[in-house]
Amino acid sequence: MTHSESTDHGGSTTVAPATFPELGQVSAASATPANNLGLILDVEVPVSVVLGSVRKSLADVLSLSEGQVIDLDRGAGELVDLLVNGKLVARGEVVVVDERYGLRISQIIAPSERLRR
């Protein structure tokens, strides 16, 4: 039985329509994007840095061996892509930080550009 149904002792069912507040009645303070964003700030998403890419046939992939070099579609010194959840968000340059690789952000992709992609 749902919340909008009720059954009397005679076995008949009465159904009442659900009522909802008008959309304009939601308080503006509780519906701001900043408040909604706070609900998901601790959600983890995959972050990747893409140095470059190349398309290879399956036969070429299966014939790869140790020590073989694969040429990528980017030159040394070109900016690399920062992907968040598979979407391009920024570009930057690879740096070394305490013997580990890092990324120095050089360019943030505009939200309108991200939506277009």
- Per residue in 28-39, pLDDT (tens digit) is 555 566 678 888
**23 located within any domain:** no
**85 located within any domain:** yes
Query: Which has more pLDDT, 69 or 8?
Result: 69
CATH number assigned to the domain comprising residue 97:
2.30.330.10
Give me the number of domains the chain comprises: 1
Residue 79 to residues 7, 92, 93, 95: CA-CA distances in angstroms? 68, 5, 5, 11
**56 located within any domain:** yes
* DSSP class per residue in 63-95: T--TT-----SS-TTS-EEEEETTEEEEEEEEE
**116 located within any domain:** yes
CB atoms within 10 A of CB 79: 16
**79 located within any domain:** yes
What is the extent of the structural domain holding 49?
A: 45-117
pLDDT greater than 60 at residue 27: no
pLDDT greater than 60 at residue 92: yes
**112 located within any domain:** yes
| Reported pTM | 0.61
**117 located within any domain:** yes
